[in-house]
């Protein structure tokens, strides 16, 4: 299942092309999925659309349809466990600064989504998860220095993107494992 195109969702939500509303929506969604939100996707869609005043791509129904497709694709990719999960971010034709800003917004929104559903206190999480979430917090403050060479910046961005992609799958697997184990009865 493929996720909607970033620009298409940005436009459907009435956001400027250079903005990061689509990244924030996807980050929040993924945080909620990792935390095991039970009211998905309706509450997330309603909250995402509540922040939108101008639907420039066919109205709220088109935005709703894209959000539903985004939810279905993200949930399927994370639950599959085959590392097929992808972040919804601007494509490589977008300026590096805008992509880095969208990645930072995505990470902040992911952490917000986790916090909304009461992820266990940090000290109760496994070391690997604490490290990933701390890194996401740092990435949420990331930017691109003007003096940084384009080639170095692209390489660093690609590494961060892959780290976040894999990190989200690890967080999902770790946070969902206790719930799934409790739901699976053991034979004796």
pLDDT tens sequence across 81-95: 888 999 999 999 999
pTM of the predicted model as reported, rounded to 2 decimal places: 0.87
**Domain-embedded: residue 91:** yes
Share of the chain above pLDDT 90, in %: 53
Region 22-47: what's the mean pLDDT? Answer: 92
- Residue 188 in any domain: the answer is no
Which residues are CB-contacts of 185 (< 8 A; sequence separation ≥ 6)?
none
In order, the DSSP letters of 103-114 are HHHHHHHHHHHH
| Residue 14 domain-assigned (yes or no) | yes
CA 166 from chain centre, in angstroms, equals 12
Domain count, the chain: 1
pLDDT band at 178 (very low <50, low <70, confident <90, very high): low
Residue with tokens 């940090």: 122
Most confident of 59-68, 124-133, 148-157: 124-133
Would residue 62 count as lying in a domain?
yes
CA distance 145 to 163: 20
Q: Is a pLDDT exceeding 50 seen at residue 169?
A: yes
Q: In this structure, what CATH number is given to the domain that contains residue 44?
A: 1.20.120.740
Q: Which domain holds residue 163?
A: 6-183
**What is the distance between the alpha carbons of residues 94 and 182, in angstroms, rounded to a whole number?**
44
Q: Per-residue pLDDT tens for 49-80? A: 886 765 454 555 688 999 999 999 999 999 99
Domain assignment of residue 1, yes or no: no
Instruction: Specify if 164 maps to a domain.
Output: yes
Q: In this model, does residue 187 exceed pLDDT 80?
A: no
DSSP 27-84: HHHHHHHHHT-SSTTHHHHHHHHHT-----SS-HHHHHHHHHHHHHHHHHHHHH-SS-
**Predicted confidence (pLDDT) at residue 13 exceeds the cutoff of 80:** yes
């Amino acid at each position: 299942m493929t996720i909607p195109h970033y620009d298409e969702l940005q436009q459907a939500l009435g956001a400027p092309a250079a903005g990061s509303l689509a990244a924030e929506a996807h980050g929040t969604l993924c945080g909620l999925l990792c935390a095991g939100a039970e009211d998905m996707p309706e509450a997330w869609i309603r909250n995402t659309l509540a922040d939108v005043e101008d639907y420039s791509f066919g109205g709220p129904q088109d935005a709703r349809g894209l959000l539903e497709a985004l939810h279905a694709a993200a949930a399927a990719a994370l639950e599959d466990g085959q590392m097929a999960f992808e972040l919804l971010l601007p494509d490589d034709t977008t300026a590096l600064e805008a992509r880095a800003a969208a990645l930072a917004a995505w990470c902040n929104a992911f952490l917000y989504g986790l916090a909304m559903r009461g992820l266990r206190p940090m000290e109760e999480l496994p070391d690997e998860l604490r490290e990933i979430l701390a890194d996401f917090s740092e990435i949420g403050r990331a930017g691109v220095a003007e003096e940084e060479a384009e080639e170095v910046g692209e390489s660093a961005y690609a590494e961060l993107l892959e780290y976040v992609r894999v990190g989200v799958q690890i967080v999902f697997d770790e946070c969902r494992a206790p719930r799934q184990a409790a739901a699976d009865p053991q034979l004796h």
